Each structure stands twice: as structure tokens, then as C-alpha cells.
Amino acid sequence: MKVALFGTQFYEREYFTKFNVDNKHELVFFNESLNATTSHLTKGFRAVCVFGTDKMDKSCIQKLAKLGVQLIDLRSAGYDNVDLKSANTNNIKVLRVPAYSPQAVAEHAVALIMTLNRKTHKAYNQVRENNFSLEHLMGFNLCNKTVGVVGTGKIGRAFCAIMLGFECKIIAFDVKENEDLKQKGVQYKTFTDLLSQSDIISIHCPLTPKTTHLFDKKAFGKIKKGAMIINTSRGGIINTKEAIEALKNQQIGYLGIDVYENEGSLFFKDQSQTVIQDDVFERLLSFNNVLITPHQAFYTQEAVTEIAKISIQNFTDFEENRELKNEIK
């Protein structure tokens, strides 16, 4: 089957080529992101493979359908960038990679916590300049701290397991409670109670209409003053402008994010020689208690391997009319 892969990075080409055994599928890699404007590039392809930065809205999907595309395969677990209703109307199947490595994202969330807390990034830079002072490097013990986990799917559960190892008290909020976590001592709370009781809040829920800007001025007003907020899920869950106000008045004590609500025009590119036009993002960078990583939480050898292998399997299942176990309906 001929598949167009959009917005591909250097590492993806290597892994997808490796696991496309016997060149079963004709894979064509595009640097461009897929959207209504670039949809013409899909002419002659039966399937497209996209990432979270590709915009699969109604306009784009209608154009794909007219060009003969029958499958949209996501190289991610999240699918908030796809108009599922439009895909269904146009008889286009939508598949995804539901779980490539929950541990990869969970471990990165912990890395953000540890870095912000113990200021290892600042210590590294100081020592390289022969500055061995401990001034401004004090952190706090994680042991016995209350950690709030918003979303206890596979990634949230992996994160809970790690933080239980630090002997933290774990409280969680989810529309569906996990009995296994409860047996391990995790307590489910209301969202309001989680905000007010947590020293650290880690976000692991999907982006939906209900969770868009879940963390806004109202939510920030309910958190413990000086609490740490970590987001390795989706940028749109946090209202960035209102987070900046909460940082300015020191309501948020630390902010660690691997995702940003307007990251599409920034992340996955070398912008070092570019004047960034996003003033909100630039304001975030100005805070010394904010740590931003470029959507790299998933980026481990194990995760990229699984993404490639499952995506290739999705192509094969579709082409051979097998059960589409990773279909989004």
C-alpha cells in the first residue's frame, strides 16, 4: 500500500524503513505538515500517516477523500487534531498508536519535577563557569509530599507507580477510577480537592472539549500557593496566558511543560536563527521557575520502535481487511 507520512522527523524515517519488512508498503516521507493547504500532496496515496501537529479538520479531510485517501493513521495516542465526524462522513478510517510507551512520558514528567525542584539545570551551568556556590539551589524532599495526578490512564498509572516509590502521597482525579491504583493507596478526589491539596500536580489526561483550558484562572486560584504544575499531556489543557498571570503573582511556584498550546509553529524545528514571533511563549521563557522541553517526553528508543511497528501493522491490517484493533470510532 502506498502511504504518505507527513511532518516526519529524521529518526522516524530510519525506524519506519527498518520495520517495513520486505518493503511491504511504499512509504513516502514528507517534511511538510498535512493540512488543507498541503492536502494536494496526497494525490495517488491510499493512506496518510500523521502526527499531532498535522491539522485534520473538516476541510482537509474532505480534500483527502476527493483524492482517494481511505485511511488516516496517527503516529500518536492522542487524536484531538482529527475531525472524527468528518472522517466518518467521508468513509475514511482513523487508526492510532494507543500505547507506545507510557513509561517514557511518565519518566519525563518525573525528570521535569526533579529538575525544577533540585535545579540541576542551573547547577550544571554554574559549575561549567567555575561557580560552586549553593546559593539559589535549595530544593525540597519529595518524600511525604502530596502529588495530584489528573488522568489515570496508562501514562498516569505509570507516573503514580514512580511517585509511590518516592513515598509520596498520591491523590488523583479521573472520570473513571482505577481499582488497582486504589489498592496501592492512591486516593481519588474531586478536581477542586486535588487542586487545593497537592504540592505537585501532574497532568496526564487527553485534550477534549471538557479538558481544554481545564487549568485556567479559576483553577490556578484554587491551588496551593507555590505549587508545582507539570504538563506532559496536551498544551491546550493549560490556558497559557492565565498561567503567566499565576506565575507573576507567585500562585504557581514552578511550571514544567513538554507541550504548549501553540506549539505547532515552534516545536520539532531548529529555530535558533529565527526571531520567535510568539510573545506568549517568549514571556514563559522569561521566568526562572519555568522549564520547557520540546515535546520530547515520548522520545525514547523503545517508544519510537513501538510507534513504527504498530503504525506499520495498522497499514497492513487495513490493506488486508483485518480487524482494525486500533481504530478510533
List residues with catalytic annotation.
234, 263, 295
Amino acid at 317: D
- Coil/strand/helix, residue 250: coil
The kind and range of the H/E element at 179 are helix 179-183
DSSP sequence for 223-265: SPTTEEEEE-S-GGGB-HHHHHHHHHTTSEEEEEES--TTGGG
Strands 71-74 and 227-231 come out as: unpaired
Q: C-alpha distances in angstroms, 95 versus 91, 220, 317? A: 13, 35, 10
Q: C-alpha distances in angstroms, 128 versus 16, 219, 255? A: 39, 39, 25
Helices 102-118 and 154-165: crossing angle in degrees, nearest 10, is 40
The sign of the dihedral angle between the CA atoms of 30, 31, 34, 37 is negative
Are the CB atoms for 311 and 27 separated by under 8 Å? Answer: no
Give the closest residue to 153 by CA, choosing from 207, 80, 192, 222: 207
Are the CB atoms for 69 and 38 separated by under 8 Å? Answer: no
CB atoms near residue 152 (< 10 Å): 26
Tallying the residues shown for the chain, one arrives at 329
